[in-house]
Amino acid sequence: MVRVGIIGGSGYTGGELLRLLLLHPEVEITQVTSREYAGEYLFRIHSNLRGLTNLQFDKPDLSKTIRLCDLVFLSTPHGVSSKLTPQLLDSGLKVIDLSADFRLRNPEDYPRWYGWSHPNPDLLKKAVYGLPELHREEIRKAQLIACPGCMAIVTILALAPIIKANLVEKEKIVADVKIGSSGAGAKPTRSTHHSERFGVVRPYKPTGHRHTAEIEQELSLISKSSIKVSMSAHAVNIVRGILSTVHAFLTEKIDIATLWKTYRSFYQNEPFIRLIRDRKGLYRLPDPKIVVGSNFCDIGFEIDNHTNRLVVLGAIDNLIKGAAGTAVQNMNILLGIDEKTGLNQLALHPM
Amino acid sequence: MVRVGIIGGSGYTGGELLRLLLLHPEVEITQVTSREYAGEYLFRIHSNLRGLTNLQFDKPDLSKTIRLCDLVFLSTPHGVSSKLTPQLLDSGLKVIDLSADFRLRNPEDYPRWYGWSHPNPDLLKKAVYGLPELHREEIRKAQLIACPGCMAIVTILALAPIIKANLVEKEKIVADVKIGSSGAGAKPTRSTHHSERFGVVRPYKPTGHRHTAEIEQELSLISKSSIKVSMSAHAVNIVRGILSTVHAFLTEKIDIATLWKTYRSFYQNEPFIRLIRDRKGLYRLPDPKIVVGSNFCDIGFEIDNHTNRLVVLGAIDNLIKGAAGTAVQNMNILLGIDEKTGLNQLALHPM
Amino acid sequence: MVRVGIIGGSGYTGGELLRLLLLHPEVEITQVTSREYAGEYLFRIHSNLRGLTNLQFDKPDLSKTIRLCDLVFLSTPHGVSSKLTPQLLDSGLKVIDLSADFRLRNPEDYPRWYGWSHPNPDLLKKAVYGLPELHREEIRKAQLIACPGCMAIVTILALAPIIKANLVEKEKIVADVKIGSSGAGAKPTRSTHHSERFGVVRPYKPTGHRHTAEIEQELSLISKSSIKVSMSAHAVNIVRGILSTVHAFLTEKIDIATLWKTYRSFYQNEPFIRLIRDRKGLYRLPDPKIVVGSNFCDIGFEIDNHTNRLVVLGAIDNLIKGAAGTAVQNMNILLGIDEKTGLNQLALHPM
Amino acid sequence: MVRVGIIGGSGYTGGELLRLLLLHPEVEITQVTSREYAGEYLFRIHSNLRGLTNLQFDKPDLSKTIRLCDLVFLSTPHGVSSKLTPQLLDSGLKVIDLSADFRLRNPEDYPRWYGWSHPNPDLLKKAVYGLPELHREEIRKAQLIACPGCMAIVTILALAPIIKANLVEKEKIVADVKIGSSGAGAKPTRSTHHSERFGVVRPYKPTGHRHTAEIEQELSLISKSSIKVSMSAHAVNIVRGILSTVHAFLTEKIDIATLWKTYRSFYQNEPFIRLIRDRKGLYRLPDPKIVVGSNFCDIGFEIDNHTNRLVVLGAIDNLIKGAAGTAVQNMNILLGIDEKTGLNQLALHPM
């Protein structure tokens, strides 16, 4: 059993990690820290875990973490994990970071997108961008993995095959993203107050979303040229789930069969990608409704001949494939075990 | 008191017309027809009207309508009003049609977008596209008014000022629309079953939406050149409301002050347009949540310097400004009374 | 025009008062105070009012209130209005208090139910319990009106006729109440955070709810004997609305016709009571869904012969009939104008 | 591997059985029938299963079922399984029926509560009421198991300990039940249309609910005397989940410690009962929100000294513990394997 710790375990991502890891057959949770809830039972905060575990939150203490853990998940606010990571790496631990601190390769992107200078820019070279569908081999050998942002994961996965195939205009790609309230985290504010948040279709970040940086980084890498993405994020009336609707303009006429081939060959054998484009049934295209609760990323597409536009749709559970599920998938790869271990749950339907 | 009839009064649009007209000080409802519910009390179908009226549905009978009414709203399925209209017009009634049958000026657009040949193409010239913000003077003198489609209204109103000012590329305009379930009408199907429809972010019409035709018609008219719109429609987890997120690419650099001026001058004195772009508060940009229940169309915008993109956001209540409210607004103009009569309700907040 | 002020106008009840009063033809709003938002536009907090008013919040200042207003609504937290009221009354203003501070006649009920000793117990005698259906004549002559609690209003109105007719056991009455999130007010907390509050059926106050005190006070008054009510409050996944399901045990066999007669005669000519018990349609019994947005209290009933139980159902909008609407209704009575003035709005349907 | 069939696999209960059984390590699904969808892939109807199975629906054919299966789940409408069961039993199959056809021991209860005469009343003696917490030993040896109704399960489990301890009045027990839309099944109707069903608190069955019969049967068995239950069912704005709020009147004063002891001793070692009555945290009492997705039945309680009332709260997922989960639990017991096999999933939180 691999001894696993979670630093910053009281948020929603921490809760999902706990749910997945407590039932994972190959690991043992040896420490879960929380500054705010130290001493409290996990199930007081993550009430769904009641009956499964009597673990308590520990107060943050890196030396104890180093003693108790072989591998540690960092589920801390942006700016924290970059401080903790050097010592953890020096002590030989594997680190899977769920914050944004190691996602960007170019240190200059941090001041630009995050308004913050990276304290350990050298470590950025060491970090692997933890999207298994793109970087599986590097993940296998990594010591430090930076899990992608939730909107980035689904948008990158939706676009990667067509960017690789060089099918669309590179600077007029629109990603119109819809996300549930859990994406805003566990801290209550006026904008997340049920009476204010219920029923909205709120354009909360029409321009300048930080995930743009990693989307462009990864797609440019695939493209071997500069890709620009125009992203807008909307809050919708669900708790979990993301739909990213990507609009791009085709540089030449293609047909659906070619698209199928492009996507199928790119995602061949990927255990957590489902291509959804059906002629029948209620769910003919991706919809978070049938993904939430699973580690799947569903991808579908449509061609608009009227404007020579390509529409690609990607759906994930923001807390699973968009965070904790991908983190566990990365861990499995790192540990050399079956990548699907502990991630076989399906969406509940209806829900 | 003007004597007003509603043909096809059992659907959601019919219900909204009734709610607005029953409290309207200048009109008297003299007939409401429904093939399915003839003889039934209105409040059995529109339960919110209970206590206000003991009117019953009448069976459809044009000659009776002509006898009882001065003005008639057609809230019938597409394809029906084009058959009823000639006789009504011949008898001198004013007709306000809420279906798509008279929205398009070019008869050839019907087979193309609706798969249906128009039975009275000559009448298309007579019909006025009932969007007061664009055609107020023609509406004043019209006998036949075609109320716009709900997604068309909000998308046209969001785009009109910048199209007129010729600020964006004309063939790469994306309208990513999110709509509540009432847009699908009152007839239950598997896709509108609560268990299947609750919690979705469902891309139900990613390409080929029929409202594209009227959006392009109206914007091309304003532009005096061909405008193409790439529209995608999504079902979200609300009952009422539309947010249309329009993404367009600027042909030159402009600043926010210029945009403000462009929108302010275009919509000066419009009673039902609110420009929403605030630095403070929870609702800094349009959101159906604070529009639903009112006849407002809220419009806001943002510039994305990163990709030279313009994002325009439009929000309406699909059954009010998107249907019955605009129909009543058209009626007020036609009758020469204050355009706001009977339309002064505000959104409930919170709701 | 009567000059009206609102002290404590930034909460949800304050917002509803503003929405109703801004469109009320007989009053003029001369002051709206808020300690927190003094100087801010009302529409920054009550975003639905944008476009209707450019009023700003004023800082609390009783002498200014006295100068500017003839009548004042107190929409302050419990414990505050009891301090402000003496000076307002002394200055001759009419006071309509929406807090709990003057609802109970017996001063000893305050320590018992609110854990708080009333600072002006003498004023309790002067206050009229502002439920028009029970106390219209007293309201007409009152200077100080205590608006009832939202759950109390609907539960009292559901029970009053059968209590008066002495039909049920007096100490085994269960009121199982379901309420939307707006009942918790505008202040965000962890329990009202959208991710935590969405989708709940949360028994947040199974025993000991404070509204029990006023329900028992009013029903005992009607009964001229002691009535005890067993109340449990649940939070459900809506923003507005209350359904109170009252279960009581019949002391003798009665039939539905007798119940109809009992309710009809009690509520004869009441403008805001609708008796709902239909054989057809989707809304055969009260449901907040068709009440929300209106000032109606819908009441229905059913007899369970199996256990000799009576089920009475009451539905209201907690912010309208449950608070601001009843306050305005009280004001209309007090001012001697038509009781329905400014309160003619219907529920939106569907919504 | 035990060969398992599902007759009637296209509904929501069938879908949940499939989700649970496809991941169950000890069984193999050899047939799933559906009259309506014969020949169709399961994932076209149960879209969450896409990617997991390419099984198709088979047309109903008992002889084929008998050939292919060792054990069969009947997830057919009420009235169907009573016809299929005799042949299945004669062929030696084990039958787990999820309909109401074998729940009641007294044949006369069928005409009374279901308006239907049982075609095989003798089989009622053979059937075991499949509530493991009450009948585990009989289930172990049964050939025919009748899974309880969803509202019955949670209400019986909430009440059983206090009925056994004889703590409350036996004929004044109120069960006020709140349920999500999936309880109404997969067939769309006007009352389940999203626009009509969203946001309701609809008292759809205030008296006369059929589950009353089995609740009284089981509680009377425990009590060895006649128990009467006054049940009212409400539809609330969620898809999954039930909260049953039970109000009963204590026959003597007891304290919370005694209640704890009563419940703890009754449910000692039960793997799927969680007693929830906490002083801290957001979920201090049962709430479907933290149960949905799991096979738990959460139970909590409170004493109302004011009226000597006991409030017991029970929460389940209506499709899991309320149907498919209990069915699988029964199967595990019957097969002599660990009762928890395939049922270890937790609720997602937040969701």
Predicted confidence band of residue D9 (pLDDT cuts 50, 70, 90): very high
Most C CBs within 10 Å, among D181, D201, D277, D305, to test the C interface: D201
Average pLDDT, chain A: 97
Nearest CA in chain D to A241: D351
The answer to whether D69 is a known catalytic residue is no
Yes or no, beta carbons of A285 and B203 under 8 Å apart: yes
For residue C229, the model assigns a pLDDT of 98
For residue A342, the model assigns a pLDDT of 98
Mean pLDDT on C173-186: 98
Give the closest-approach CA distance of C75 to chain D in angstroms: 27
Task: Determine what percent of chain C is predicted with pLDDT higher than 90.
Answer: 100
Which residues on chain B are in Cβ contact (under 8 Å) with C295? none
Predicted confidence band of residue C329 (pLDDT cuts 50, 70, 90): very high
Whether B299 contacts B273, CB under 8 Å: yes
For residue C248, the model assigns a pLDDT of 98
Mean pLDDT on C187-210: 98
Mean pLDDT on D219-247: 98
* DSSP secondary structure code for residue C70 in this structure: S
Closest CA to A333 of A132, A85, A98: A132
- Report how far residue B320's alpha carbon sits from residue D101's, in angstroms, rounded to the nearest whole number: 49
For residue D150, the model assigns a pLDDT of 98
Question: Least CB-CB distance to B46: which of C46, C240, C349?
Answer: C349
Distances (CA, A) of B319 to B18, B80, B271, C19, D337: 12, 20, 18, 21, 56
pLDDT in tens, B213-270: 999 999 999 999 999 999 999 999 999 999 999 999 999 999 999 999 999 999 999 9
Which residues on chain D are in Cβ contact (under 8 Å) with B197? 194
Predicted confidence band of residue D179 (pLDDT cuts 50, 70, 90): very high
Closest CA to D132 of D326, D320, D264: D326
Yes or no, beta carbons of A240 and D294 under 8 Å apart: no
Token output for C195: 């991710």
Question: Which residues of chain B are under the pLDDT cut of 50?
Answer: none
Yes or no, beta carbons of B176 and A247 under 8 Å apart: yes
Most B CBs within 10 Å, among D194, D239, D348, to test the B interface: D194
For residue D265, the model assigns a pLDDT of 98
Which residues on chain A are in Cβ contact (under 8 Å) with D53? none
Q: Where are the alpha helices (DSSP H) in chain A?
A: 12-22, 42-45, 62-68, 81-90, 109, 123-126, 132-141, 150-164, 194-197, 211-223, 256-267, 325-335
**Degrees to nearest 5, angle at CA B290 with B286 and B292:** 105
Q: In CATH terms, are C2-126 and C151-316 the same topology?
A: no
Domain spans, chain A = 2-126, 151-316
Q: Residue B290 — φ and ψ, nearest 5°?
A: -105, 15
Whether A128 contacts A146, CB under 8 Å: yes
pLDDT in tens, D46-103: 999 999 999 999 999 999 999 999 999 999 999 999 999 999 999 999 999 999 999 9
Nearest CA in chain C to A240: C195
Nearest CA in chain C to A236: C194
- Report how far residue B316's alpha carbon sits from residue A199's, in angstroms, rounded to the nearest whole number: 14
Which residues on chain A are in Cβ contact (under 8 Å) with D345? 345
For residue D161, the model assigns a pLDDT of 98
- Report how far residue B2's alpha carbon sits from residue B342's, in angstroms, rounded to the nearest whole number: 14
Task: Determine what percent of chain A is predicted with pLDDT higher than 70.
Answer: 100
Question: Least CB-CB distance to C47: which of B15, B49, B349?
Answer: B349
Mean pLDDT on C277-283: 94
Whether C157 contacts C212, CB under 8 Å: no
For residue C153, the model assigns a pLDDT of 98
For residue D21, the model assigns a pLDDT of 98
- Interface contacts (B, D; CB < 8 Å): 57
Nearest CA in chain C to A181: C195
Question: Least CB-CB distance to A202: which of B172, B190, B287?
Answer: B287
- Report how far residue D240's alpha carbon sits from residue B165's, in angstroms, rounded to the nearest whole number: 51
pLDDT in tens, D10-59: 999 999 999 999 999 999 999 999 999 999 999 999 999 999 999 999 99
The fold adopted by the segment(s) D151-316 is Dihydrodipicolinate Reductase; domain 2 (3.30.360)
Closest CA to C161 of C260, C243, C227: C260
Question: Least CB-CB distance to B243: which of A201, A286, A304?
Answer: A201
Question: Least CB-CB distance to D193: which of B188, B199, B238?
Answer: B188
Yes or no, beta carbons of D303 and C174 under 8 Å apart: no
Which residues on chain D are in Cβ contact (under 8 Å) with C178? 178, 201, 234, 236
- Give the amino acid at C47: S
- Report how far residue A301's alpha carbon sits from residue A310's, in angstroms, rounded to the nearest whole number: 7
Question: Least CB-CB distance to D193: which of B180, B192, B238?
Answer: B192
Yes or no, beta carbons of D206 and C304 under 8 Å apart: yes
Q: Where are the alpha helices (DSSP H) in chain C?
A: 12-22, 42-45, 62-68, 81-90, 109, 123-126, 132-141, 150-164, 194-197, 211-223, 256-267, 325-335
Q: Where are the alpha helices (DSSP H) in chain D?
A: 12-22, 42-45, 62-68, 81-90, 109, 123-126, 132-141, 150-164, 194-197, 211-223, 256-267, 325-335
For residue A168, the model assigns a pLDDT of 98
C242-249 and D242-249: which strand pairing?
unpaired
Give the closest-approach CA distance of D149 to chain A in angstroms: 19
Token output for C343: 């309160």
Predicted confidence band of residue A153 (pLDDT cuts 50, 70, 90): very high
Which residues of A are known to be catalytic?
A: 150
pLDDT in tens, A20-39: 999 999 999 999 999 999 99
pLDDT in tens, B160-171: 999 999 999 999
Which residues on chain C are in Cβ contact (under 8 Å) with B292? 348, 351
Collect all residues from A whose CB is shorter than 8 A from any CB in D.
12, 15, 19, 23, 40, 44-52, 181-182, 239-240, 274, 276, 278, 280-283, 290, 292-294, 296, 344-351
Query: Which CATH superfamily includes the segment(s) D2-126?
Result: NAD(P)-binding Rossmann-like Domain (3.40.50.720)
Could you report the predicted ipTM of this complex, rounded to two decimals?
0.97
Q: What is the CA radius of gyration of chain C?
A: 20
Yes or no, beta carbons of D240 and A294 under 8 Å apart: no
Yes or no, beta carbons of D47 and A283 under 8 Å apart: yes
| pTM of the predicted model as reported, rounded to 2 decimal places | 0.98
For residue C288, the model assigns a pLDDT of 98
Give the closest-approach CA distance of B186 to chain C in angstroms: 9
Most D CBs within 10 Å, among C174, C201, C207, C238, to test the D interface: C201
Which residues on chain D are in Cβ contact (under 8 Å) with A280? 40, 44
Yes or no, beta carbons of B50 and C290 under 8 Å apart: yes
Distances (CA, A) of A239 to A148, A236, A286, C213: 20, 8, 17, 37
- Interface contacts (C, D; CB < 8 Å): 161
For residue D102, the model assigns a pLDDT of 98
Question: Least CB-CB distance to D171: which of C200, C303, C307?
Answer: C307
Which residues on chain A are in Cβ contact (under 8 Å) with B306? 207-208, 212, 228, 230
Yes or no, beta carbons of C181 and A195 under 8 Å apart: yes
